[in-house]
Structure 1
C-alpha cells in the first residue's frame, strides 16, 4: 500500500509547525477570508469578533499537528472559528442594562420599592403575553441566571446571530406595550 503524496496544505502545515513564517503567512492569506466570514456570521461586537479570529489562528498554531486531513484545513478552520464564537458568546453572557431597569434598589423608600415591584410584575405580565418563542427568548435572556445564547438558540430554533436582533425587537415591543399601558396579546 502506497502513501499518498503530500499536498500543498500538508507541506504548508509541516513547514509552519517547524517555524516557517512564510508558511504561516501563506496559510493565513489563503484562509483569512473564510475565518472572517464565519466569525462575522455570528454578529459579535467588533472586539469580540477580532478576539474570535485571533483565537482561531492560535488554535491552529497549538494544534497544527492534530489536523487529520490537511486538504480540509478550511473546514477545520471554519469549525474552530465557529466554536470560538460560541465560546465568546458563552463567556460574554448578556448583561441586562437599562432595558428592564425596574429592579428595586434596596436603599430606596418602601413606597418606591412597592412601585418598582409593581413595575417589574407588570413587565413580566407583558412578557408572559408574548408569543411562545418571544416569551422564551425574554425569559431565558433576562432570568436571574441567563442561559448562553447558544442554548437559547437551540431552544427556540433561532440562529445565534439572530438572537440579538430578535431580543432588540422584543424589548422594543415590550417597552411600547408598557408605555401604552396595553398588554401584548390584547
Structure 2
C-alpha cells in the first residue's frame, strides 16, 4: 500500500514535462521525489473520474484507488479503458505476458501488496478481484506477478504476513522462477493464469 514519507509530508508531484496533468505516484518510492521517470510522459487520455464502484483518494504519496462498493471474488473491478503503450517500462506501466509495457491511468493508481485483493487479467484487460472486497478497501495487486524488472525499487510496508519487504528486480526474478516451477498453475478467472 502507499505510504507517506517518514516525516509525514506528502511527496511533491514530479515534473512530467509536456503531460497536461500530473501522473500519480504508483510506488512507495524511496527515490528522490524530484526525479522524473526515465521516459518523457506523453499525453494520454485521462479519465474524468474513477470507474463506478471506485474512488481516487489523495494520500501522502500521491493517489490511490479505493472501493466504494463490494466486489465478489472473480469479478472485474475495472477495465483498462485508457491504454497507451510505452517502449520501455517505467514506474507507471505494467508488463504484459508478451513483454510489452501497458499504461492505464486507473491501473497506475493501484497500490502494491504482497497479498493483494486484485490481479491484472490481460485476457479480459481488467483488474479482477482475487477475493471478496469490502467497501472502503484499498485496491491492490502484486507488482511482482507482472514485472520482470522493477523500474523503481521500493520497500514494501503492506503488512501481509508473507510481506517480501523489498520490491526490486531480484525479487521479481525469484517470484517469476517460483511461478514457473509450479506443477499445476493456480486457476484464476476462467482458468487464466495471472
* Fold equivalence (TM over 0.5): no
Q: Which has the higher contact order (CA 8 A, sep 6+)?
A: 2
Q: TM-score, normalised by structure 1?
A: 0.23
Structure with the largest fraction of strand? 2
Which one has a larger percent helix, Structure 1 or Structure 2?
1
